[in-house]
Amino acid sequence: MADLDFRHGAVSPPIVTSFDADGGVDRRALANHVETLVDAGLDGVVPCGTTGEFASLTDTERRAVVETVVEAADGRVPVIAGAADTTVSGVVDRLRFAADVGADAGLVTLPYYHNSTAPAGQRAFFDAVADDAPLPIYLYDIPSTVGEPIDSDVLAAVATHDSVVGLKDTSGDISAVDTAVDRTPDEFTVFQGVDALLYPCASLGVDGGIHALAQVIPEVFVSLGEAIRDGDDARALALHREAITPIFDRCADHGFAPVAKVAAVSRGFIPNARVRPPLTLPDEATREAIAADVDAALDAM
């Protein structure tokens, strides 16, 4: 297992799930992709996240993805396995499997589909998961898909639990990020989850990010992390504006998994860009534009 002591400016990608010609999980392509990202100098990998299309995978496939990623990472970087589910027992079962195959931590959302009786319901859910968690867990605040943000009072309270070690904030609300950093212990890790907000949030004290685009332009994110650590604001701002934001805007228009897969294919990182319904791929002209954005991002280095 790897060390979870992430450095300032750390970046880990929520990796795409490659599918083969028969529509199944392509474990070889997935392992090769992990190898590429580890070699590029990224700080961790996150299987079965939103960009990994976890909601379109069967339980057996989710387990295969986590197991493959752990084996490919081989203890060189931490593996934070997505463990989202609508029930406490479902989350804990996913965490137990992740622990059994050697993952270093889990990523846990609020239940989706039905909202909680917030904030009491949120607190009850997270406390129940944390009490039985066999791994350290990162909370995942993504209100656009679960229907509500994590309440700031709930976050502050749950952050003191021994099993809860950090947060991925994908709320898109910079003030919420500021509150999260301010109201959690110093050793609590706060990751920005919106690619285009990593640099703007660096001054607020975030520890780094979990970003889909890091798997297609890893060199850019490694350089951005270095610039943040070195206090090189001019360099960081240039990478933010010239390299990351244009591709991020494509993701906003066409979805993170489709754009990340098209971009990864353009780099030769994965063999194809297949996605599962209800996701669809952009048209050919847009795919060419995404590839051009990737080339421009690398030229901006």
Fold of 10-230: TIM Barrel (3.20.20)
Q: How is residue 282 annotated by DSSP?
A: P
pLDDT at 114: 81
Residues that are catalytic: 140, 168
- Report the alpha-carbon distance of residue 123 to residue 38 in Å, rounded: 35
Mean pLDDT of 230-250: 96
CB-CB contact of 138 with 105 (8 Å) = yes
Residue 196 pLDDT exceeds 80: yes
| Confidence (pTM) | 0.97
Range 266-284 average pLDDT: 97
Judged against a pLDDT cut of 80, whether residue 151 lies above it is answered with: yes
pLDDT of residue 113: 87
Domain ranges in the chain are 10-230
Residue 81's pLDDT band (boundaries 50, 70, 90)?
very high
Q: For residue 115, what pLDDT is reported?
A: 76
Mean pLDDT within 75-85:
98
Q: In the structure, what pLDDT confidence band is assigned to residue 86 with cuts at 50, 70 and 90?
A: very high
Confidence of residue 87 (pLDDT cuts 50, 70, 90): very high
- Rounded percentage of the chain residues whose pLDDT exceeds 90: 94
- The whole-angstrom separation of Cα 260 and Cα 266 is 10
149-155 LR contacts (CB < 8 Å, sep 24+): 149/173, 149/176, 150/110, 150/122, 151/118, 151/119, 151/122, 151/123, 152/176, 152/179, 152/180, 152/183, 153/119, 154/118, 154/119, 154/122, 154/123, 154/126, 155/180, 155/183, 155/184
Q: Average pLDDT of the chain? A: 96
Q: Which two tokens stand for residue 28?
A: 């070889």
